[in-house]
Amino acid sequence: MTDSPAALVLEDGRVYRGTGFGAEGVTFGEVVFQTGMTGYQETLTDPSYRRQVVVATAPQIGNTGWVAGGDRAANDDESDRIWVAGFVVRDLSPQPSNWRSTSDLPTEMRAQGVVGISGVDTRALTRHLRTAGAMRCGVFSGAAVGSVDDMVAQVLQEPGMAGANLTDEVSTSETYTVAAHGEQRFVVAAVDLGIKSNTPQMMAARGITTHVVPATVTLEEIRALGADGVFLSNGPGDPSTQDHLVALTEQVLAAGMPLFGICFGNQILGRALGFGTYKLKFGHRGINQPVLDHVTGRVLVSAHNHGFAVDAPVGEVVDTPYGRAQVAFTNLNDGCVEGLECLDRPAFSVQFHPEAAAGPHDAQYLFDRFIGLLEGTPADVPAVGKASA
């Protein structure tokens, strides 16, 4: 922890002063707020936060330190590095209290070159972002702090998130494999758009061997792996930039291969079915979003991290080039589309994160629904309006 002055500067000219921690210098990104009360390490290491400055709405951050380790079971990482562009907190804990911690948050951020600012009125900042929307920002600390006019000018030179193609920055360059736990039941090709490490672990626990493949993968390469199905992962950026992935998804649908998408994967499936996507005003980021499953009638408390959404009609069955499809999940806060279901193909997707890292476990059954598709015995999917209450 340092005592260097720091400033969070928004593109609309607002400035929030505080104290720097982590690395000293300047960083830029889209400022977004995250409402989870736990799981900051999972948040910081989630590739979906690429080029975003995260504001933690939980009042104290850092009290569980940093949990590192040689394998997934020994750490709280969702990837092998911190991906957020910067971190904004109210109260930085001076001393972690966690028997599992191997270091503290400021030390790890400093080691990875991530700039942070503490002492910010994050409640006021979040209320402003909910009104004005997510926007470009810069975090300046130490000698990087300058005049307001100069700092704002630097922020305005940075690109926005709309139109950002970030998939190549977060995707694996080479295929790697996460083996099934126990007897192998199925093989799945997981297209890495910014995948979280707990996702293939959730599949491994269900007897799935997962080959995590680059975003540039072709259907022929997927078939060569002996894949029984395809998974489209979460990830950052604007889905309107991903024409290759949309074309790949169209090929998977045409081939009738079982397909499951999460978050960015939901948006890619939406585009493949002919729906549009759009940027949300401030997005959904946290572990407490209520979502309605139209198939079962259940309300799920779910984990989210997305700034874009699918534009599809709710309450209708839509004819697509790959048969009938419908919106299968909606957000109960704002009505946003939270998932899609194909009625004539073995494919579905959700906008939220059922892998529960960090987050509630309500939606983990969706991995079992994917198992049903792989078995060729999917649960009966009623058309809209016929879901059980």
Long-range contacts of 284-287 (CB under 8 A, 24+ apart): 284/331, 284/333, 284/336, 284/351, 284/352, 285/32, 285/33, 285/34, 285/35, 285/36, 285/54, 286/34, 286/35, 286/36, 286/57, 287/35, 287/36, 287/37, 287/38, 287/39, 287/358, 287/359, 287/360
Q: According to CATH, where is 3.40.50.880 located in the chain?
A: 167-375
- What CATH number does the domain located at 167-375 have? 3.40.50.880
The per-residue pLDDT for range 72-116, each reduced to its tens digit, is 667 889 999 999 999 999 999 989 999 999 999 999 999 999 999
User: What pLDDT does 295 receive?
Assistant: 87
The per-residue pLDDT for range 51-61, each reduced to its tens digit, is 999 999 999 99
Q: Any idea which residues carry the catalytic annotation? A: 263, 353, 355
Residue positions forming the annotated binding site for L-glutamine: 48, 235, 237, 264, 267, 305, 307-308
pLDDT band at 383, cuts 50/70/90? low
Residue positions forming the annotated binding site: 48, 235, 237, 264, 267, 305, 307-308
Q: According to CATH, where is 3.50.30.20 located in the chain?
A: 5-156
Cβ neighbours of 173 (radius 10 Å): 9
User: What pLDDT does 145 receive?
Assistant: 98
The per-residue pLDDT for range 328-366, each reduced to its tens digit, is 999 999 999 999 999 999 999 999 999 977 788 898 999
- Topology of the domain comprising 5-156: Glucose Oxidase; domain 1 (3.50.30)
Q: Which of 210-214, 287-291, 340-344 is predicted with the least confidence, judged by mean pLDDT?
A: 287-291
User: What pLDDT does 378 receive?
Assistant: 58
